[in-house]
Amino acid sequence: MGEFWSKMSYRQYRRFTYCSYYVDVSEVRGLFNYSLSCCVNSLLQSFSATTELLDILNKWCPSEEIEQSNIPQRLKNALLAMRDKSHPAPHKDFLDSLYRHAIRRGTQQDADEIFHIILNLIQKQISDLGLAQEIRSLYEIKVETQVQCSHCSFIQREPNSLFSLPLAISEKENTLESCINSFFQSQNLVNGDKYHCNQCEQKQPSTHGLKLVSLPLILCVHLKRFRNDRGVTRKLDSKVTFPDYFKSGIFAAGQPENVANDSPRADEHYSLYAVIVHIGSAMFGHYTAYIRPVQEDQTWYYADDCSVRPAKWADVQSTYEGSNAAYLLLYRKKSCNSSG
């Protein structure tokens, strides 16, 4: 995940100078890699492109002195500093704050795990509960677990929420829609997997399924490319095609038959604006990001730590498979009248 150094070499000095100088090609700016920080760098690029997040954080003006380990304040400062291209190290304080929360320097990190850590710390540390809920609602996917007894047909329901949609992928070719359908596909619980029915008051063969209750403004999709086989973690390079735009109707096929009327509308449009890419293997890798700023709806940029360059949709599509593969997808809900 980038180079780890004890003393800055001349080459690294030139690289740092380039980061500080940064050619103004867009709203996207390069970020220096401090102690294998490529994972956080890529996530920061996605947070910076999520203008709704900074809009909420800008409403928070605490009167009391904030500790250095306060993630929402440091994230707010970092996102503001990333817009100031004269700032030599816009995210250094944010990285230091993360490292105060049991995240080790100089180690490989999982982007989905760090994404959740950041959002959970924001929930815990922001003093304004209303704004904390706004940020939660920005990303929160609401689902309902449904277990139906095969003997008496009684359905037990339990609400749950997710910050990212964790989609398993197969060894063969996948599409985003097929992965979504598999995630919501009902499973039969029999033999040793029987479920305790509250009405029968004993374990019974049952059907387990998930119902989608609501989708957020910002939908994060986690393509689960890492698999543990007998204690050994390996990376799946399988092909997963994903669209630039989609309608929320792609969630309908995998829903239980007893879906209620409060389910998401099928005509809601979502537009892809950030892709976190994992390069390498399960044991050693590097994170980069493709970003489409909201101000430049048709233009993509590729951010690899310090280096930022314009990109095309074909470049994003190249991350469908292989060792250079998409890992997190971020979609923004658009108005129903939006084209695409």
Residue 4 lies in a domain: no
β-bridge pairing 245-247 and 269-280: antiparallel
Residue 218 lies in a domain: yes
Give the N- to C-terminal CA distance of the chain in Å, as an integer: 36
Residue 2 lies in a domain: no
Query: For all residues of the chain together, what is the average pLDDT?
Result: 86
Count CA atoms closer than 13 A to 78's CA, side-chain side. 28
Better pLDDT: 52 or 87: 52
Tell me the per-residue pLDDT of 241-278, one tens digit each, with 9 for 90 and over: 999 999 988 998 656 554 444 556 667 899 999 999 99
Mean pLDDT of 306-315: 95
Q: How many domains does the chain have?
A: 1
Phi, psi of 159 (to 5 degrees): -75, 150
Residue 144 pairs in a beta bridge with 159, 211
Mean pLDDT of 217-238: 93
Residue tagged 């997997």 (tokens) = 193
Tell me the per-residue pLDDT of 323-336, one tens digit each, with 9 for 90 and over: 999 999 999 998 64
Q: Which two tokens stand for residue 75?
A: 């994230």
Residue 14 lies in a domain: no
Tell me the per-residue pLDDT of 58-75, one tens digit each, with 9 for 90 and over: 999 887 778 888 999 999
Chain-centre distance of CA 216, in angstroms? Answer: 13
- Report pLDDT for 192: 82
User: How far is Cα 204 from Cα 189, in angstroms, rounded to an integer?
Assistant: 8
Tell me, letter by letter, the H, E, C secondary structure of the chain: CCCCCCCCCHHHHHHHHHHHHCCCCCCCCCCCCCCCCHHHHHHHHHHHHCHHHHHHHCCCCCCCCCCCCCHHHHHHHHHHHCCCCCCCCCCHHHHHHHHCCCCCCCCCCCHHHHHHHHHHHHHHHCCCHHHHHHHHHHHCEEEEEEEEECCCCCEEEEEEEECCEEEECCCCCEEHHHHHHHHHCCEEECHHHCEEECCCCEEECEEEEEEEEECCCEEEEEEECEEEECCEEEECCCCEECCCEEEHHHHCCCCCCCCCCCCCCCCCEEEEEEEEEEEECCCCEEEEEEECCCCCCCCEEEEECCEEEEECHHHHHHHHCCCEEEEEEEEEEECCCCCC
Better pLDDT: 303 or 62: 303
Residue 91 lies in a domain: yes
Residue 240 pairs in a beta bridge with 174
Provide the whole-model pTM: 0.87
Mean pLDDT of 211-219: 95
Whether the predicted pLDDT of 137 surpasses 70: yes
Mean pLDDT of 220-242: 93
Determine what percent of the chain is predicted with pLDDT higher than 90.
63
Residue 3 lies in a domain: no
> In this structure, are residues 35 and 105 in contact, taking their beta carbons and an 8 Å threshold?
yes
CATH code at position 57: 3.90.70.10
User: How far is Cα 167 from Cα 50, in angstroms, rounded to an integer?
Assistant: 22
Tell me the per-residue pLDDT of 16-59, one tens digit each, with 9 for 90 and over: 434 533 434 557 899 999 988 999 999 999 999 999 999 999 99
Determine what percent of the chain is predicted with pLDDT higher than 70.
86
Burial state string for 59-79 with b = 16 or more CB within 10 A and e = fewer than 16: ebeeeeeeeeebbbbbbbbbb
Burial state string for 143-176 with b = 16 or more CB within 10 A and e = fewer than 16: bbebbbbeeeeebbeeeeeebbbebebeeeebeb
Better pLDDT: 91 or 64: 91
- Report pLDDT for 260: 46
Its domain, for residue 106, covers: 21-334
Better pLDDT: 118 or 7: 118
